[in-house]
Amino acid sequence: MALGQASGNRLELAGVGKQYDSPGGTVQALADVSFEVSPGEFVCLVGPSGCGKTTLFRIVAGFEQPTTGTVRPERTTEQMNMGIVFQEYHLFPWRTVGGNIRFGMEQLDVAADKQRERTQRLVDLVGLEGFVESYPKSLSGGMKQRVALARALAVDPSLLLMDEPFSAVDAQTRRRLQENILDIHEETQKTVLFVTHDIEEAIKLGDRVVVMEKNPGRIAEVIDIDLSRPRSRTTPAFGDLYERVLDHID
């Protein structure tokens, strides 16, 4: 499996807008959002609550259609593999850890022995050795999110799309998962779009940070993060970037 090679297409959003009709009139959730994510790049999308980042996530994921603009490639029409990780894990509770990881491969009719081998590699990659036969109900939040990550990676996606994946776990687990995702990104070279409301997390993880503001939800600034990893938030450069992002969000 192509765990170690750069894979995937460029993700392109052009003029994406979304309007909702509500009893109080039309709500402009997103206006003219355009940016690109290059193959192998790790882009974080950060913004205050209500800036439409979840809507944008759902549009990129193909769960919703934009009112205006385009997203390329489209998951639904172009049959691309997209690995999606949600904030609330959304594991299949009736499947074991291994069963969850295999789910996407079963849809792709991957041969059984290959499924087993790939599942084992992913279990090792996300650090869940010994839990393959466990059911999700017996796992902690952090472990569930590891399963969700492995499940998303199992289809060898050209894009890994993550919606506030670490915000439901405690601070310590969260720090560990952040380190893990960077290691995994380095190893797999997946293209990643990572949505978060946590500025520190965005700067720590992203090659670039797309900052959004609200009313209507639109891009305030796209910032290249030229800090070497691991990044410590105590350095002055980190602090400057933090302030710069915060300016838009306040």
Partner 1 sequence: MSTDPKFEIDRGTESAEGDLSVRRRLVTYDYRRLGLGISGLFAFLLVWWVVSLSQPAFVLPSPPAVAESFSEEMSSGEMPTALRQSLRHWIPGAVVGTTLGIGTGLALGWSRLLDDIWAPVVRLLRPVPPLALIGFAIAWFGINDTGAAFIIAIGAFWINFYATYGGVESVSTDLLDVARSLGVTGNLGLLRSVVLPAASPEILTGIRTSIGRSWMLVVAAEIFGVPGIGARIQRASNNLQVDTVIAYILLLSLTFLVIDTLFRWIQRRLLRWH
Q: Does 94 bind partner 1 (CB under 8 A)?
A: yes
- Signed CA dihedral, 183, 187, 188, 189: sign only: positive
Q: Does 117 bind partner 1 (CB under 8 A)?
A: no
Q: Does 143 bind partner 1 (CB under 8 A)?
A: yes
User: x/- contact string, 224-243, with partner 1 (CB under 8 A)?
Assistant: --------------------
Amino acid, res. 109 = D
Q: Does 173 bind partner 1 (CB under 8 A)?
A: yes
- Separation between Cα atoms, residue 235 and residue 53, nearest integer Å: 28
Asked if residue 86 lies in contact with residue 148, where contact means CB atoms within 8 angstroms, the answer is yes
Asked if residue 143 lies in contact with residue 169, where contact means CB atoms within 8 angstroms, the answer is no
Residue 31 or 82 having the CB closest to partner 1: 82
Q: Can you tell me which of 151, 185, 208, 231 binds partner 1, judged by CB under 8 A?
A: 151
Which range binds partner 1 by CB under 8 A, 13-21, 22-30, 90-98, 225-233? 90-98
Asked if residue 39 lies in contact with residue 10, where contact means CB atoms within 8 angstroms, the answer is yes
Size of the site for partner 1 (CB under 8 A): 47
Minimum gap (Å) between residue 102 Cβ and partner 1: 10
Question: Which helix (H) or strand (E) covers residue 28, if one does?
Answer: strand 25-37
